[in-house]
Chains A and B, each alone.
Chain A
């Protein structure tokens, strides 16, 4: 419990301060979370699902945490130049793990819609927040428990019944600090029945110090609700992130999750999707472009609890240099979940001999009338395709780039926001060309 102890001590010592600078709804779960954290600890490398990521190691260094919620002297609107501009999104910021409320976009949301900070939301609407907060992401593992113990704020999207939010919402997580810092981020998306919204979350690290993030994202999609969640990580090599996404879907709801890692240090993304109402549909896409020592470890667990639901999973990784990737995809079809359709594809491209990919599809099926498939490939670039392009006058490096972009194109094509799709195709190409320039605002960032 060496790695855990400093967090337990920290919490015990500063509990009253943590509570004071947060809200009732969030505070309600801290004591239970502490008990969970003491019970689970950090997932150990001996645990099958964490074989390829040493979690405790990442938490051992001493990071600062802004428990007193001191304003970080930064205006994100000044320092941040987004890589996905002109999307006409409503743009919000989280600095480390605080919602930035000094400047907000001028948007007139439809009646009843709330987009903003979690602390403020849960103070203003404790009933709604209390109904959902920590309801999808409890009791799973020590990282989630730690996050629930320490999180003081976050980002929230609430869309009431029958309301469609036309304008895409964009939330940018900015890591900004002069010393090593840890952030405990929280996102809560509540889509009441027959509501619709699209959310794009971007992660950026704008300083060269070490950053450690825990992120817990909870998504509730009511009957016939429709929600797109795009998660674009463009952080730094000295950023470590442990994120988990918890989705609960009711009947005929449609949720798309698309997680793209362009630059990072070490990332672990866990996806838990529960299809709890008939005819619900979930699409989970993931993609990472890795080089140098980058690492991305993705775990997904999709549960078909009732009949007639569809899930489709498409995950691609391109691994260069000494980078490493892991994919573990579990699909659970419960007894009685007849007419389930569940598809899973994981394809990985190893550019160098030194790059490593660990992939493990897992299907667990307890119903007898289902359509399930999974396919996994890990291999090198197609030499005959490379030669074909060269033989038309395209230089080898350019041909490699074209094939890499092509390899990941279908993940980007799943984006249902036209502007973002185009922009992502462009960003991916820049990433492969090694031209993903540091943002104007990202000081010292070396992608």
Chain B
């Protein structure tokens, strides 16, 4: 049997500043699947995404994470990226003075170098930028500016998706990418995600609401609560959550 497992999290405990937030996460994701992770505020959704991309503020105290059979927790943030993991940040950072073009060229070339490929030529790069920009309907004025500087909330999220389609990750993690987006922007984000959909590409959608899941159809839905996954189901679980809220699950979890 071919091993189709992309990500395997076992008994993951992690926290920040000595406070434990993830209290034993178990999660398996196969290639080509879309998983949604839902849950009320403060349940650990963003901590999980930060740990997966190696944010230095978060410390893993127990458990393992295998990514394509490798020990993910040993890799530096840049190597995780070059191995195909991408996080669409909930709060993208503004970086004045670093142009989008330079930033993306550096990123693309670092990925190529990792895979023993020559740096992309200037003309090919600009062509690539143009193509990918079209997918997320992003104005060339935005890519001509410094990274996220002066971007509106929606533009920042769109820029995250633009970077995602540029880097074509194997595992994309969308951390509340839908928050604060109007319906058009939401459609564009979904369009970006769906454009990457192949039997090899996997997406982890972290969200509060069912809204984004109307556009990005998940195969599996998990509910994260107090640092643990308390329920896993199909797409219908998201709809149920939208109708009934989280309280019934809290009761089920014994509270």
When C-beta atoms are compared, the residue in chain A nearest to B97 turns out to be A406
In the complex, which residues of chain A have a beta carbon less than 8 angstroms from the beta carbon of B87? 391
Are the C-beta atoms of B97 and A405 separated by less than 8 Å? yes
In the complex, which residues of chain B have a beta carbon less than 8 angstroms from the beta carbon of A402? 98, 102-103, 106
B1 at the interface (CB under 8 A from A): no
In the complex, which residues of chain B have a beta carbon less than 8 angstroms from the beta carbon of A388? 89, 92-93, 95, 147
Are the C-beta atoms of A387 and B77 separated by less than 8 Å? yes
**Cα(A408)–Cα(B82), bound, Å:** 29
Q: How far is the CB of B181 from chain A (nearest CB, A)?
A: 20
Interface residues of A in 374-395 (CB under 8 A from B): 382-385, 387-395
In the complex, which residues of chain B have a beta carbon less than 8 angstroms from the beta carbon of A389? 95, 98, 103, 106-107
| Among candidates A382, A393, A410, residue contacting B81 with C-beta atoms closer than 8 Å | A393
0/1 interface trace, chain B 97-113, chain A, CB 8 Å (1 if under): 11000110011001100
**Cα(A402)–Cα(B102), bound, Å:** 9
Are the C-beta atoms of B78 and A396 separated by less than 8 Å? yes
In the complex, which residues of chain A have a beta carbon less than 8 angstroms from the beta carbon of B95? 382, 385, 388-389, 403, 406
0/1 interface trace, chain B 177-210, chain A, CB 8 Å (1 if under): 0000000000000000000000000000000000
Are the C-beta atoms of B97 and A394 separated by less than 8 Å? no
Q: Which of B97, B146, B167 has the most CB of A within 10 A?
A: B97
0/1 interface trace, chain A 391-433, chain B, CB 8 Å (1 if under): 1111110100011011111100000000000000000000000
Are the C-beta atoms of A394 and B106 separated by less than 8 Å? yes
| Among candidates B54, B86, B96, B107, residue contacting A406 with C-beta atoms closer than 8 Å | B96
Interface residues of A in 240-272 (CB under 8 A from B): none
**Cα(A385)–Cα(B106), bound, Å:** 15
**Cα(A405)–Cα(B55), bound, Å:** 24
B248 at the interface (CB under 8 A from A): no
| Among candidates A384, A392, A396, A408, residue contacting B107 with C-beta atoms closer than 8 Å | A392
Q: A385-B93, A406-B96 are in contact. Are A391 and B114 (CB under 8 A)?
A: no
Q: A384-B93, A406-B98 are in contact. Are A392 and B103 (CB under 8 A)?
A: yes
| Among candidates B77, B86, B102, B147, residue contacting A390 with C-beta atoms closer than 8 Å | B77
Are the C-beta atoms of A403 and B78 separated by less than 8 Å? no
B56 at the interface (CB under 8 A from A): yes
Are the C-beta atoms of B93 and A393 separated by less than 8 Å? no
Q: How far is the CB of B165 from chain A (nearest CB, A)?
A: 13
**Cα(A405)–Cα(B81), bound, Å:** 23
B143 at the interface (CB under 8 A from A): no
In the complex, which residues of chain B have a beta carbon less than 8 angstroms from the beta carbon of A392? 81, 103, 107, 110, 163, 167
In the complex, which residues of chain B have a beta carbon less than 8 angstroms from the beta carbon of A387? 55-56, 77
Q: A384-B93, A385-B95, A406-B98 are in contact. Are A391 and B77 (CB under 8 A)?
A: yes
B224 at the interface (CB under 8 A from A): no
Q: How far is the CB of B86 from chain A (nearest CB, A)?
A: 8
In the complex, which residues of chain A have a beta carbon less than 8 angstroms from the beta carbon of B238? none
B53 at the interface (CB under 8 A from A): yes
Are the C-beta atoms of A393 and B111 separated by less than 8 Å? yes
Q: Which of A383, A390, A392 has the most CB of B within 10 A?
A: A392
In the complex, which residues of chain B have a beta carbon less than 8 angstroms from the beta carbon of A391? 53-54, 77-78, 80-81, 86-87, 89
Are the C-beta atoms of A394 and B76 separated by less than 8 Å? no
Are the C-beta atoms of B77 and A398 separated by less than 8 Å? no
Interface residues of A in 342-392 (CB under 8 A from B): 382-385, 387-392
**Cα(A390)–Cα(B81), bound, Å:** 8
Interface residues of B (CB under 8 A from A): 53-56, 76-78, 80-82, 86-87, 89, 92-98, 102-103, 106-107, 110-111, 114, 146-147, 163, 167
Q: A383-B56, A389-B95 are in contact. List 13 more A-B contacts (CB 8 A).
A: A382-B93, A388-B93, A388-B95, A391-B80, A391-B89, A393-B81, A393-B167, A394-B78, A394-B106, A402-B103, A405-B98, A406-B96, A408-B97
Interface residues of A (CB under 8 A from B): 382-385, 387-396, 398, 402-403, 405-410
Please list 10 pairs of residues, one from A and one from B, whose beta carbons are closer than 8 Å in the complex, sorted by A's number. A388-B89, A388-B92, A389-B98, A391-B53, A392-B107, A393-B114, A406-B95, A406-B97, A406-B98, A410-B97
